[in-house]
Structure 1
């Protein structure tokens, strides 16, 4: 969350050959957090999700259902979630649900979702809730699967998450430890996949995307086998060098995305930055992020806090 995944997903979502699904694991994560762990399906018995392994398996099944155009394999709560109204490709299905309320009438709407998927060249899901270990498992059963692992500097990510209400500054030490341990674990899997499946695994740093948006967007499209069109280039430019700067926490359009991406350095307290630095050393070493030594260094935007480094 707050890593630039919505912008990255939108770049794919605007393409006419793409079936794009926004945050399909959202409901599963909330069910997990709230301990409501019994999921219902149309074509299988109810399932209990009581462990991390259960969560990963269910997340994989949800991803498979959307990517392979089998919506009946997806749990009913996920098929009902409001995030399906966030993509042009799933809005027609969501509108059908509104006109035909009730679980059983959902079956009348699922063919709409399936057709949108089947008619597309590439299916894309954007998610912040999917463990990379589950991706590794999926690759064994889905030879056409490709993954783009997006990562951002932990300092702006954590600052933005806390500002959004995910946790409190008083809990920064434990929160940043947990965050970076999770990122580190995912990166270790990605490093392994980049060796075993180099043509199917890509690591993307948010900072690279916003500094060189066109170059990186073209690279992403080449990676998944999509044509980079003039319309896509216009979309990328409108989002990263637009005429309007959207001032809201979840907005993605920026007058200057590279400048906006550095705004956190002016706003983050130095002592808080140092706490994150101390807890995220392993991630910094893997990706090339640099700790800060003084408050002046933190605020000095002429000094980069990133060196080039391959995972």
Structure 2
């Protein structure tokens, strides 16, 4: 009997033990996390332990608007030397090139979506691009804009575009842009002054940006149209084939911009005119005035850079570069290049503009 009792007792204890172990195992399994859940929670813990994001800065967008060969490269190069600036050199050029070549095109965006555009969509798409750039929303840009070689003219974009060029050798351009995009975005978001040089839009389109960005300033850069045309001719444009036609087209656009400068200033008051001639003849004085108008800090480093660009005897072999041996020598370089008959035609089609801006 004792032996029989012991066996039964042992069996009973064993069964109870198995049941208890099963219960404990079930309880422990219910607390085990899936690896992805554990990773998410770990990341959350790390995010909580990190410092809270910095307070958003009050951005001050600046558009330098002009026409082709007005001296905007010099003006942009001077402005981008200021502290706390993020400068972009003609970001609308890729879109202009695509539509010029194809008329109708499909833009492939960095975020993976596509956008169909036609020749008449250029102004609207351009405004969307400018808004995205000011907001550092680079994922909504098309791949061409986000990877264009002009980004090397923007010193704070160089690390990003260098990263893209390095990575696209071993992967697709789309993948390279997305891999490096955070570099560009961080550089933009950390800058108070976001400056964009624009030569492909007329001034009336600035109203949409003035409405969207209450701190936006527009620098309207102007130049004598005779000097503009001579500068264009050096790049291969045949302005002498039909003087009246070429100057009529140019001065119509210039007059249009002046009209909207006055009109929009009546509502917004944030557009001011910069004469290229003043910047070229008195670069130190004018650049200091420009910095003051834009609330930028004019430092000895900026002053030295302006001097290097305009007075330091840099070679003049590059017609599209900002630097000049002596910028003042280019102001009246057009004189003597037109005969009297041509000057009479120019006066006839551009006389109102020349007189209003003091060029006559």
TM-score range, shorter chain: 0.7 to 0.9
C-alpha separation between the residues in 2 aligned to 1:248 and 1:209?
19
Distance (whole Å) between structure 2 residues aligned to residue 229 and residue 222 of structure 1 = 12
1:71 pairs with 2:141: no
Name the counterpart of 1:209.
Answer: 279
SS at the partner of 2:241?
helix
Change in Cα spacing, 1:93 to 1:272, as seen in structure 2 (3 Å) is: farther
- DSSP 3-state at the match of 2:318: coil
Q: Would the aligned equivalents of 1:245 and 1:254 in 2 still touch at CA under 8 Å? A: yes
Partner of residue 298, structure 1: none
Deviation at 1:255, TM superposition (A): 3.4
Shift of 1:245: 4.0
Map residues 1-311 of structure 1 onto 2, 5 A cutoff. Answer: 1-34=68-101, 35-43=103-111, 45-52=113-120, 54-101=121-168, 102-198=173-269, 200-290=270-360
Residue 59 of structure 2 corresponds to none
> How high is the TM-score relative to the length of structure 1?
0.86
TM-score (norm 2): 0.75
Task: Show the counterpart of 1:297.
Answer: none
Partner of 2:154: helix, strand, or coil?
coil
Structure-2 separation of matches of 1:37 and 1:182: 26
Between the aligned partners of 1:270 and 1:119, the Cα distance in structure 2 is 54
2:194 partner SS: strand
Compare CA radii of gyration and give the structure with the larger one: 2
Shift of 1:4: 0.6
Unaligned runs of 5+ in 2: 1-67
Q: How far 1:219 sits from its partner (Å)?
A: 1.8
Q: CA 1:188–1:51 in structure 2 vs 1: closer, same or farther (change >3 Å)?
A: farther
Contact 2:110/2:177 (8 A) holds in 1: no
Question: CA deviation digits over 1:71-129, x for unaligned, max 9?
Answer: 11222221121111222111111111111212133111111111111121211111211
Give the length in aligned residue pairs: 288
2:48 aligns with none
Q: Which one scores higher on RCO, CA 8 angstroms, separation ≥ 6? A: 2
Deviations 1:28-64 (A, max 9, x none): 1112222243322234743333254x21111111111
